[in-house]
């Protein structure tokens, strides 16, 4: 895709809420959570994804929906806010019970698991994961949310990519200062020379894995990678060796939540285009931890 055309597409996606990503039917009257999820999947424009993690995690799918919450994680804080807003359908991007497939075999007798599940069921909440399908939107809606959050939709994209941008020339330290303005409550893990000059940046929200990180970092068109998180024995060590060899490379880990939850905020805006008779809210997750 022509870089200028790609940039214009992102501008439209970020700022013109009347534009659609896929064919949208605004006349449907929604009743149940299952009907809503079917409509959401249809509007992603994706083929059916086999073995998807995008399934109901708790609650009765035939529950009549009064209000919808989108978020990164269905934490207890989020669940309580949903109840306060009289919203009974929570659409999450990440797992409910602490592992990718929400396998609760080892948690059956755990009080934390039991109390969270009891809260969900006692308030008749329905939880559905929206991970694979939101990533399947073209361009990836989670990535689009991050681009909009950064304000980078106005920048040229490197040829044939949607996640590599040419930004005004700066240093690694300067880029970190601008990121801190966008994510003031976040802390960043950084590998690279703070005085390194750069202009070509790759984005990889979430935790796509060391293979994806390296495919971006080994691209000569990329100076620095901004991503969510990774095991410290993977991308951290590659970039450390690259720096020691004098390579023009750096990586910034901004945290899993910070890198992806703007995509779920964007997802709420996207849903409002075709879910017009039920309120749809985005609730921001607080940081998972504090640093010392």
pTM of the predicted model as reported, rounded to 2 decimal places: 0.89
Structure tokens at 18: 């009347």
Pairing label, strands 126-129, 189-191: unpaired
Say whether both 210 and 110 belong to one domain. Answer: no
Say whether both 133 and 27 belong to one domain. Answer: yes
Residue 287 lies in a domain: no
Residue 144 lies in a domain: no
Residue 155 lies in a domain: no
Q: Which phi and psi angles does 150 have, rounded to 5°?
A: -75, -20
Total domain count for the chain?
A: 2
Question: Cα 187 from chain centroid?
Answer: 18
Say whether both 15 and 112 belong to one domain. Answer: yes
Say whether both 67 and 118 belong to one domain. Answer: yes
pLDDT in tens, 149-184: 999 999 999 988 999 999 999 999 999 999 999 999
Residue 291 lies in a domain: no
pLDDT for residue 12: 54
pLDDT for residue 74: 98
Residue 248, class by beta-carbon neighbours within 10 Å (0-12 exposed, 13-18 middle, 19+ buried)?
Answer: middle
pLDDT for residue 26: 46
Residue 152 lies in a domain: no
CA separation (Å) from 161 to 106, 132, 168?
42, 20, 18
- Each of the 292 residues of the chain gets a pLDDT tens digit; together they read 555 555 555 655 565 444 444 444 444 455 899 999 999 999 999 999 999 999 999 999 999 999 999 999 999 999 999 999 999 999 999 999 999 999 999 999 999 999 999 999 999 999 999 999 999 999 999 999 999 999 999 999 998 899 999 999 999 999 999 999 999 999 999 999 999 999 999 999 999 999 999 999 999 999 999 999 999 999 999 999 999 999 999 999 999 999 999 999 999 999 999 999 999 999 999 999 988 8
| Number of CB atoms found within 10 A of residue 250's CB | 26
Say whether both 176 and 245 belong to one domain. Answer: yes
Residue 150 lies in a domain: no
pLDDT for residue 186: 95
User: Do the Cβ atoms of 170 and 198 come closer than 8 Å?
Assistant: yes
Say whether both 266 and 233 belong to one domain. Answer: no
Say whether both 133 and 265 belong to one domain. Answer: yes
Say whether both 7 and 133 belong to one domain. Answer: yes
Contacts of 179 (CB under 8 A, 6+ apart): 150, 188, 226, 252, 254
209: CATH = 3.40.1390.30
Q: What is the domain range of residue 206?
A: 163-254
Cα(90)–Cα(282) distance, rounded to whole angstroms?
10
Residue 197 lies in a domain: yes
Dihedral sign, Cα of residue 285, residue 47, residue 207, residue 55:
positive
pLDDT for residue 31: 83
Say whether both 122 and 16 belong to one domain. Answer: yes
Residue 157 lies in a domain: no
Say whether both 94 and 38 belong to one domain. Answer: yes
Say whether both 264 and 250 belong to one domain. Answer: no
Say whether both 246 and 269 belong to one domain. Answer: no
């Amino acid at each position: 895709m022509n870089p200028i055309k790609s940039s214009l597409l992102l501008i439209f996606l970020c700022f013109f809420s009347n534009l659609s990503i896929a064919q949208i039917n605004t006349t449907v009257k929604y009743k149940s959570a299952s009907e809503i999820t079917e409509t959401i999947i249809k509007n992603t424009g994706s083929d059916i994804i086999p073995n998807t993690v995008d399934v109901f995690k708790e609650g009765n799918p035939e529950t009549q929906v009064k209000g919808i919450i989108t978020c990164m994680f269905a934490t207890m804080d989020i669940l309580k806010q949903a109840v306060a807003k009289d919203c009974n359908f929570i659409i999450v991007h990440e797992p409910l019970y602490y592992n990718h497939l929400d396998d609760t075999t080892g948690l059956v007798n755990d009080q934390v698991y039991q109390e969270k599940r009891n809260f969900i069921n006692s308030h008749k909440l329905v939880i559905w994961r929206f991970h694979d399908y939101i990533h399947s939107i073209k361009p990836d809606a989670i990535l689009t949310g991050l681009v909009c959050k950064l304000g980078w939709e106005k920048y040229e994209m490197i040829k044939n990519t949607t996640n590599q941008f040419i930004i005004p020339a700066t240093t690694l330290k300067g880029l970190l200062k601008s990121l801190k303005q966008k994510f003031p409550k976040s802390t960043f893990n950084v590998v690279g020379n703070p005085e390194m000059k750069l202009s070509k940046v790759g984005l990889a929200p979430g935790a796509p894995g060391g293979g994806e990180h390296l495919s971006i970092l080994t691209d000569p068109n990329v100076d620095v990678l901004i991503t969510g998180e990774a095991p410290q024995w993977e991308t951290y060590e590659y970039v450390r060796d690259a720096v020691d060899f004098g390579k023009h490379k750096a990586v910034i880990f901004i945290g899993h939540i910070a890198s992806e939850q703007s995509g779920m905020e964007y997802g709420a805006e996207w849903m409002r285009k075709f879910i017009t008779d039920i309120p749809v809210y985005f609730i921001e997750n607080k940081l998972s931890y504090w640093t010392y």
